[in-house]
Amino acid sequence: MKLIFTKYPETIPVVPLTIALREQNIAILEIGEKTFYKVFDFSRKRISESEADNLADFCEKTGVLSLLGEINDLYTYLVGVEVGLDSNARKNRSGEIFQQLLGLLLKKKLKGSNLQIKQEDPNVQTARSKRADFVIYSDRKPQIVLECNFYNTTGSKPIETANAYIDFQRKVREQGECSFVWVTDGPAWKRMEKTARQSFREIDFPINYTIADERLERIIGQLIKT
């Protein structure tokens, strides 16, 4: 794969489409002893050997290599992907994966405690009239609402979501019920620093995945009403 990218760089932009992504800059959240982003640029017309190595590593780890070995007609496959990308089922894939990661983290952090976690809880709805991503219960009472979002690209959606959650938190405060934690991450926030500062100032607990991994137990302990 490395040799193909080096000799035929025009093939590079095709890679994201094989995994149903239109974005040419893809950020991968690497989770291990240290959590960090690794950004892959598929729009380059010329690449170095080290960049070709990174792209080849991406293809191996995401299953692109295996997929290409199974496809008989790449053109027909990509046309089908393009059609599928226009359906609702293809939208917000990174957000869904991020929600799954947070769910696993919550179970890990709260294992052995007396707290219960409900996902997509129908009894608690956020400002967007959707079921809360996660609700933590103590003694059968909802105590903490957690919403999570991951943004690869900038635009109006992160800003709209932040404003909606600010309104939601105000209502929560007025009612004196649950505390609100917003877990949001992604490279888009780095390009919206001003917006992030303004929005996060209005929310009591805006955190990213790294902070959640390091401090989630402490934050939950502080927020649970006794």
Domains of the chain, by residue range, sit at 2-87, 93-223
All residue ranges of the chain with pLDDT < 50 are 82-83, 85-91
Distance CA 23, CA 28 (A): 13
Transcribe 33-82 into DSSP letters.
SS-EEEEEE---SS--HHHHHHHHHHHHHHTHHHHHHH-S-HHHHHHHHH
What's the pLDDT at 89?
A: 44
* pTM for the structure as a whole: 0.64
What's the pLDDT at 136?
A: 93
Distance CA 172, CA 182 (A): 13
Distance CA 60, CA 55 (A): 9
Length of the chain measured in residues:
226
* Contact predicate 186/36, CB 8 Å: no
* Tens digit of each residue's pLDDT (9 = 90 or more) over 201-211: 888 899 998 89
Check whether domain 93-223 has CATH 3.40.1350, yes or no: yes
Tokens of 192: 């919206």
